[in-house]
Chain A
């Protein structure tokens, strides 16, 4: 599964290389392609770039790069909204970290490149901007999964807290039902499972936000595996919390 995804990423970066390389012949893009392929363990050969940024094609290369930068600004705006959305349960510290990265580093950096590209008149100038766009900011393969995975991790931590706070109430309800002469065997079993599910989810979630937030554009493409591992743990935690919720429903039904 992860191998497939890494191949896909490698292919994606190859595409980036194609965009930057074929259009601009950016040395960095070729480097990106080989790095991603190496990270994926792929032995496939990197297709040769087809330099197109010749003096007669500077304007076309410039437009392609401007479009790529504009897409990244749009994506960063979306990430900024996600980080600022108070409907999610990002911790104040995590929210601040994400907002700082997005608003004080990423967006100003990409916007500076937009100005740089607008004023560029030569292929080397465009190559330098394209390389920085990919390697310095990693909007799609670092900032994007980092933001969304952190939101998921903190959401799960919040829900785990809800369950933990609810457990004494459930215990009281079961005791009260038992005192009233009700058979609470099934409810008690469901409650035991609920506590186990929540504890397992807590283990899977613990420290994920810190790990994910520690990733930087400079760590790509190697940190892709970190994101994949976080996704696996967070998906498992989500399933545990779903099971805990089902247990809660079962307890409620048994006590009625």
Chain B
């Protein structure tokens, strides 16, 4: 009776260790377990992507914006806005010119 109880405890412990080892080794050598995410930062990826490490395990990759200023940036960020403002300015200056060149009502 006592021996039987001891054998059962040993078997249960062995089974538990086996299950744990199996879980750790399933599909990956890392210690990542299902449902846990690990943030990774990359410096050269232009757009956010994701990398699957193991089934059910997703690692988000955060891209750092490039610091290189290109000619496209010059165009999109300000030159077009300046062009719009200059167009508006021309209209207002033309109005002021007209006030001074052809004053209405004379007084």
Contact = CB atoms under 8 A, between A and B. Distances in A.
Nearest to B77: A169
A231 B81 CA distance: 24
Interface string A132-146: 011000111100110
Contact of A172 (B69, B85, B88): B69
A251 interface: yes
Given A159-B82, A169-B74, A12 B92 contact: no
Contacts of B89: 152, 155-156, 159, 238, 241
A200 to B, nearest CB: 16
B88 A149 contact: no
Interface in A127-167: 133-134, 138-141, 144-145, 148-149, 151-152, 155-156, 158-159, 162-163, 165-166
Given A245-B83, A252-B74, A13 B106 contact: yes
Interface residues of A, number: 58
B93 A169 contact: no
Contact of B88 (A68, A155, A169, A235): A155
A172 B78 CA distance: 14
Q: Is the interface of A mostly helix, strand, loop or mixed?
A: helix
B105 A152 contact: no
A251 B83 CA distance: 15
A16 B106 contact: yes
A143 to B, nearest CB: 10
Contacts of B105: 16, 68, 71-72, 75, 139-140
B78 A5 contact: no
Contacts of B74: 169-170, 173, 248, 251-252, 255
Closest 3 CB pairs of A and B: A12-B106, A140-B105, A255-B71
9 contacts: A87-B88, A89-B85, A134-B107, A145-B96, A152-B92, A152-B96, A155-B85, A231-B100, A255-B71
Interface of A: 5, 8-9, 12-16, 32, 68, 71-72, 75, 87-89, 133-134, 138-141, 144-145, 148-149, 151-152, 155-156, 158-159, 162-163, 165-166, 169-170, 172-173, 176-177, 227-228, 231, 234-235, 238, 241-242, 245, 248-249, 251-253, 255-256
Interface of B: 68-71, 73-75, 77-79, 81-83, 85-86, 88-90, 92-93, 95-97, 99-107
